[in-house]
Homo-oligomer: A and B are copies of this chain.
């Protein structure tokens, strides 16, 4: 595909072209992305033409709905290069996916002397579930070592702090405590600084100590190509609404053999073979992990979102985002007193690329004040702890402003953002 025509791209997103919103600059894409028309239409079309409950039906409409739902499993499988569609479980989002692994797979095998490793860079969704099962079982949760002391060169050849997992230190730790570590959970890309972890090496290291690992891909799947076979991880998850799809739906990838060992997490219709008054025989994964009527329209909408991404091409998306990122970064650097907590790519493969997420603070200015004044200028950014309080503590701040871009954003929007930012700083510094 040739370079993206940004006008064509933007015209595919009703939110970006509707008159009501034409003055808004949406820089909150790490929170949730806008939806292409094809996704919105897939949902309307389902409710208009094919709406029916699935799996247990002998009628035509039910069969069509079932097929569309199950086809999406294949679409997802191809999207993340899983081995088979049976490795794909539909959840209500990344949060449920992680809770599912924590409760149905990890918790049953934990005992008091065990350790779970997560990182202080994690979104709460990939931290609290591990804390809680540790608490319930008496196991310990420890933080993965972070390189934060090392200075590295960023994409503009400047020195900045490297917040990636320190695999050397981790290896040392595992050499002495590896037998006690029962699970590792880590992010693929950070929602705070867009930094990319070397999840492939991390997985290799975990597996060399026979430790299963989950990668939280909530911030990755819309930005880089995900290949779970190449990564080698046991579990991978993401949310539909962050990859241009609907809310209320997400994906858990799990290796078949491991999914088979899951206790169902929720119980209800569609997951049983035989029910007596006091006991039940269940179906196999992934069906036994999707109790009750699922978010059928949501799953189908997510399928449309993935098709949209594939049509545009992740390569193209990356190219566009890289260009926006470099532009914004170079301008942002010039703002006096700014601290930018931007991550980098620990893979070194494509040294310039990390996702276009910019978290920052300006000396002497509160992030909340900045975000409010930006919002008054119709610039939609996020502020606060970004559901990542432990990361904030690593950064030594209570919160920050986050401008998170997507490939449909433009340089003109960046310019407007910078103008408003400067105005706001001026107002606040008095």
Per the bound structure, the CA–CA distance linking A308 and B165 in Å amounts to 52
In the complex, chain B residues whose CB is within 8 Å of the CB of A375:
58-60
Per the bound structure, the CA–CA distance linking A428 and B143 in Å amounts to 66
Please pick, from B44, B132, B378, the residue contacting A267 in the complex, using a CB distance under 8 A: B132
Chain A contacts with B in 132-153, Cβ cutoff 8 A = 132, 134-135, 140-141, 143
Bitwise, A12-49 to B at CB < 8 A (1) or not (0) is: 00110010110010101001101100011001100111
A202 nearest CB across to chain B (Å):
19
Residues of A contacting B: mostly: mixed
Segment touching B, from A73-81, A121-129, A341-349: A121-129
- Say yes or no for A337: interface residue by CB 8 A criterion: no
Whether A61 lies near B279 (C-beta < 8 A) is no
Hey, which bits of chain A sit against chain B, CB under 8 A?
14-15, 18, 20-21, 24, 26, 28, 31-32, 34-35, 39-40, 43-44, 47-49, 51-53, 56-62, 92-96, 98-99, 120, 123-125, 127-129, 131-132, 134-135, 140-141, 143, 239, 241, 246-249, 264-270, 272, 274-280, 291-298, 368, 371-372, 374-375, 378-384, 387, 389-390
Give me 8 other A-B pairs in contact (C-beta within 8 A), A99-B291, A124-B269 excluded.
A21-B49, A32-B293, A40-B48, A53-B241, A124-B275, A248-B249, A249-B295, A269-B387
The 14 listed contacts between A and B (C-beta, < 8 Å) are A40-B47, A56-B384, A57-B382, A61-B380, A92-B295, A96-B292, A99-B267, A129-B266, A131-B279, A140-B278, A141-B277, A247-B294, A276-B389, A295-B298
